[in-house]
Structure 1
Amino acid sequence: MTLIDQFTSQYGPMSKMDAFGYLKHLDEHPDEPRRHGKIVMVTADTPLKASRGEGKTTTTIALIDALRARGIDAAAVLRQPSMGITAAGSKGGASGGGKASLEHAELVDWGLCGEMGAIEAAQNLLVSFAEKAIDDGLIDTILVPRVSEVPSRSLRHITVDHGKGDVAERVVLTPTCELMQIVVLSHSMEEIGERVAVMVAGTKDGVPVTFGSFIDLWRITNILTDAVKPARTQTRQGSPVYVHCGPFANVSLGIPSLVSVRMACALHDVVVVEAGYGADAGAQKWLDIACREYGAQWPAAAVIVTRATTWRDDPTLSWRYPFHVQRLEMLDIPTFPLINLWEGEDGQVEELRATAKEAEFREPIIGNLFRDGGDALVKQLDPFVRTLEAGSAPAQRHSHRGMSLIENAKWIAEHAYGVPADRVRLRDGFVDSLSDADELCSQLGLSIDDLAFVAVKSPATMTDDDSAPEDRRTVTLKKVEVHAGAGVVQVNLTTSLTTPMPKIV
């Protein structure tokens, strides 16, 4: 039995990994053999439609299959999808497709890895405690939302009669909730308990009240016993894949749990991490939150996926793909464009290569991965493999803690969306929202500027209007929401919903 087997248990047809226990053991026994895997980030172009995936998961699966066919010990870490949106067919599935798909794909797509249901139950139990605290006079407002995996427009804003007056409540999708963020960012059950303790239940006479002040936290952490463990599965070709937490990079973190990635790096030489939606969303959050603020490993290379139609067919949006590639290259991340062909597009390959050359990209990787899987990539990966082999550990980027929230927003707008600081707008009411959030943090003994900045935005746009001329593109800041337990502050910009409805596609 290997060391990792001692921290592995069966969970239906898949396995669950006690990443907390395994990593603690490695920390306490530094002589134990371990790998020091390099991170490869797979992200995508900003899609023309939020409801259509560009093929990140299909690419991630095909990539590790191809790397392993070349004798490289590669694995992938994927995000657990949201059943009510992703698996309902509103965008590309989260388990790949065709020859580049997971074994037991249905278990992943329908949330049967377990954490979605457990996190939903735990956060809803917190809200139930908050409602009882209303009855007991401990609080008079509720700030933490209920969550659901199945969206409902009627539940976005609700009013509950508590007998002592109506109390406003709301419901958001499970992946967007604070408890999901806590699980993504935590490295132990003790840390989860500490973070839940400082979650804000509501206010009493305008003063914030945390859950740790009136409930026993074991009631919550016990629900999460299996939810904190990444699921281990494999591709149809037998390549190892770990699935844990974190979809919806437009309205939350959109990255897998930090411990699932750290565990995979201790087990494999190359770890491909999926960053949600486009490079403006998931990649921005992996780099600026996971890496800058929480010490995750900086990528040794990146792959940005696009569709041939997304890249070339809308002239007003054609700036986005080159922007993403060039931005990551400017961060010293070797970035490889990958064009995910659909059926009938094989004849466009030479034209696509010419367009990529004109844009001064690295040699593009092109293939129909649904049809051909990793076989389409094996012979195209020489430059990619040479880059991985030659790469050294990059320097850790500086934290933005202490930077004012508005300055941080302007920095992200400029670097992630291409909008200069002087074209960042404040919507009416934003200053009041920021003032309220700042006051809440002060009453909790926190500085709002020390919280990690989470942009909440449309998945299909980087700016207020991506089709506008470059010199007219703007970003508008709309609302601020503090997640004290997660250690983040969410700032709404462009168009965004935390309870989107599935699309009929």
Structure 2
Amino acid sequence: MTAYEDFVSQYGVFKKIDAFGYLDYLKNNPDAPRKRGKVVLVTADTPLKASRGEGKTTTTIALIDALRKRGIDAAAVLRQPSMGITAAGSKGGASGGGKASLTHPELVDWGLCGEMGSIEAAQNLLVSFAEKAVDEGRLDTILVPRVSEVPSRSLRQIAVDRGKGDVPERVVLTPTCELMQIVVLSRSMEELGQRVAAMIAGTKDGEPVTFGEFIDLWRITNILATAVMPAYTETREGSPVYVHCGPFANVSIGIPSLVSVELACARHDVVVVEAGYGTDAGAQKWLDIAAREYGAQWPSAAVVVTRATTWNDDPTLSWRYPFHVNRLESLGIATFPLINLWEGEDDQVPAFKSKAAELGFRTPVLGNLFRDGGDALTPQLDDFVAALDAAGIPAAPESHKGTPLVDTVRWIAKSAYGVPAERVVERDTFAPSLAAATELCNKAGIDINQLAVVAVKSPATMTDNDSAPEAERSVTLKKVEVHAGAGLVHVNLTTSLTTPMPKIV
């Protein structure tokens, strides 16, 4: 077998790849055959409703099918969907659709790539250890929530009777939890173990206590042995796809694991990476967390997807799509608008092309990808391929670590949402929450300003009121939560739930 095949094992209908082991092999064997693929980021317009998608996964699948028909070695890296919120695929899932679909979409939608269940079990075991630590007097409070793949409104906030007073706990969806973030960001089992050890379990007499202080970490890392391995599958057209981790870019980081992308880049010339929700969510987090702070590759090109109805239906929100395209272009990323047509919308193509030209966009790409798949894109990609050929692999951008947290949030608001610093306001809950988070970090020996900022926001809005005139749009800061093991600090900007309920369809 080749070295790569030594790191591949069968997992049901999928293959699982020991990405940690394979990437370490390449690092220690610089003469081993490998590629250095360029990253293309597929992101989207901000959806009109949180429960519906713009078609990023369908586009990603159609795009790699089209590129491969043009003789380009392209692969995709997708996020593992959350079974609970997609209702096991009933809303369309997150594995494409129609002709632009995976070979086993139902298994991807149902979480059978494996990492969701393992991460859920591992984080819940951590909380069980924390509960036992309360019983033994090692902890007074528990700061890490339990997780569930299937949401329950009754479990959003609970209190457990210990016989010596209630201990507040909560439950969040698996994709939003700190352990998911740790798996997404870690590049080795050693790093993963160190990050789990650094998770703050709770406090004792006001002092933070980490899990590394009272549990044997092998209990957790053993559970995650297969969860850290990306799954390999294919499109219906036979194009390679890697699936691993990371949905929910509004309340978490919403990106696939860094090692799954690095693995794909070592195997293919072009790697199309899907980031969650809109450009203000998943793309912002790929660029400003994964790339700036964790060394992921800066995109050589990007595709911003919108549904015709999202761009056209509400005139007060039509500013958002051009804002997203122009923002990525301003960062030096060749950015192509893609209009994801539905049945009955083919006659709108001339109007969309005219509108794109009026806005100064690059050559737009349009098509009913559900119906036509990659065949719709193949003849439209000349400019895209030319831009990708002209682009090198960009240098790593400047880190924002060390900048005061509030200044970083203001920078995110201006760059990603178009709201200047003077219109970033603080709710009365924000200052006490920031002070408490800063004190917790100080006691744990952590500089809060060295943590990467995760903007926690509504998936369907960029500001407090996107329909307001530009000069009146604002962003409100609400609370702060530390994920020390992941190296992240969450800042809530708008109303968001970490246990949203699925849409009934």
- The question of a shared fold, defined as TM-score above 0.5 by the shorter chain, is answered with yes
Q: 1:6 corresponds to which residue?
A: 6
**In the TM superposition, what is the alpha-carbon distance from 1:321 to its structure 2 partner?**
0.0
Query: Does the CA contact (< 8 Å) of 1:50 and 1:91 recur in 2?
Result: no
Cα distance in structure 2, aligned partners of 1:171 and 1:378: 45
Match of 2:167, SS state, is strand
* 1:189-237 deviation line (CA, Å, top 9, x unaligned): 1111100001011101111110000000000000000000000000000
Cα distance in structure 2, aligned partners of 1:152 and 1:123: 17
Closer, same or farther: CA 145–90 of 1 in aligned 2, 3 Å = farther
* 1:321-367 deviation line (CA, Å, top 9, x unaligned): 00000000000000000000001111111111111111111110000
- The one-letter amino acid paired with 1:180 is M
Q: 2:23 corresponds to which residue?
A: 23
Match of 1:433, SS state, is helix
Q: 1:159 corresponds to which residue?
A: 159
Runs (4+) of structure 1 moved beyond 6 Å? none
Identity across matched positions, percent: 77
- The one-letter amino acid paired with 1:495 is T
**In the TM superposition, what is the alpha-carbon distance from 1:485 to its structure 2 partner?**
0.3
Cα distance in structure 1, aligned partners of 2:457 and 2:495: 6
The Cα RMSD (Å) is: 0.8
Q: 2:120 corresponds to which residue?
A: 120
Answering whether residue 80 of structure 2 is matched by residue 80 of structure 1, we say yes
Query: Does the CA contact (< 8 Å) of 1:56 and 1:305 recur in 2?
Result: yes
Answering whether residue 402 of structure 2 is matched by residue 402 of structure 1, we say yes
Query: Does the CA contact (< 8 Å) of 1:477 and 1:492 recur in 2?
Result: yes
* 1:248-274 deviation line (CA, Å, top 9, x unaligned): 000001000000000000000000000
Q: 1:312 corresponds to which residue?
A: 312
Answering whether residue 499 of structure 2 is matched by residue 493 of structure 1, we say no
Query: Does the CA contact (< 8 Å) of 1:405 and 1:449 recur in 2?
Result: yes
Closer, same or farther: CA 152–306 of 1 in aligned 2, 3 Å = same
**Number of residue pairs matched?**
505
Cα distance in structure 1, aligned partners of 2:92 and 2:493: 24
**Structure 2: runs of 5 or more not aligned:** none
**In the TM superposition, what is the alpha-carbon distance from 1:93 to its structure 2 partner?**
1.7
Closer, same or farther: CA 90–407 of 1 in aligned 2, 3 Å = farther
Query: Does the CA contact (< 8 Å) of 1:51 and 1:92 recur in 2?
Result: no
- The one-letter amino acid paired with 1:453 is V
Q: 1:441 corresponds to which residue?
A: 441
More off after superposition, 408-417 vs 85-94: 85-94
Cα distance in structure 2, aligned partners of 1:123 and 1:93: 25
Q: 2:41 corresponds to which residue?
A: 41
**In the TM superposition, what is the alpha-carbon distance from 1:422 to its structure 2 partner?**
0.2
Q: 2:324 corresponds to which residue?
A: 324
Match of 1:84, SS state, is helix
- The one-letter amino acid paired with 1:94 is A
Cα distance in structure 2, aligned partners of 1:349 and 1:273: 26
* 1:109-146 deviation line (CA, Å, top 9, x unaligned): 00000000000000000000000000000001100000
- The one-letter amino acid paired with 2:235 is T
Match of 1:342, SS state, is coil
**In the TM superposition, what is the alpha-carbon distance from 1:2 to its structure 2 partner?**
2.4
**In the TM superposition, what is the alpha-carbon distance from 1:498 to its structure 2 partner?**
0.6
Give the TM-score taking structure 2 as reference length.
0.99
Cα distance in structure 2, aligned partners of 1:314 and 1:92: 24
* 1:152-189 deviation line (CA, Å, top 9, x unaligned): 11100000001221000000000000000000000001
Q: 1:412 corresponds to which residue?
A: 412
Cα distance in structure 2, aligned partners of 1:33 and 1:389: 22
Q: 2:220 corresponds to which residue?
A: 220
Q: 1:57 corresponds to which residue?
A: 57
More off after superposition, 168-177 vs 78-87: 78-87
**In the TM superposition, what is the alpha-carbon distance from 1:86 to its structure 2 partner?**
1.9
Q: 1:353 corresponds to which residue?
A: 353
* 1:435-490 deviation line (CA, Å, top 9, x unaligned): 00000000111100000000000000000000011000000000000000000000
Q: 2:376 corresponds to which residue?
A: 376
Query: Does the CA contact (< 8 Å) of 2:83 and 2:89 recur in 1?
Result: no
Q: Report matched runs for 1:125-204 at 5 Å.
A: 125-204=125-204
**Structure 1: runs of 5 or more not aligned:** none
**In the TM superposition, what is the alpha-carbon distance from 1:393 to its structure 2 partner?**
2.2
Give the TM-score taking structure 1 as reference length.
0.99
Q: 1:239 corresponds to which residue?
A: 239
Answering whether residue 290 of structure 2 is matched by residue 290 of structure 1, we say yes
Cα distance in structure 2, aligned partners of 1:122 and 1:89: 25
Query: Does the CA contact (< 8 Å) of 1:81 and 1:87 recur in 2?
Result: no
**In the TM superposition, what is the alpha-carbon distance from 1:88 to its structure 2 partner?**
4.1
Cα distance in structure 2, aligned partners of 1:164 and 1:142: 15
Query: Does the CA contact (< 8 Å) of 2:55 and 2:306 recur in 1?
Result: yes
Query: Does the CA contact (< 8 Å) of 1:251 and 1:455 recur in 2?
Result: yes
Closer, same or farther: CA 163–178 of 1 in aligned 2, 3 Å = same
Match of 1:111, SS state, is coil
- The one-letter amino acid paired with 2:82 is S
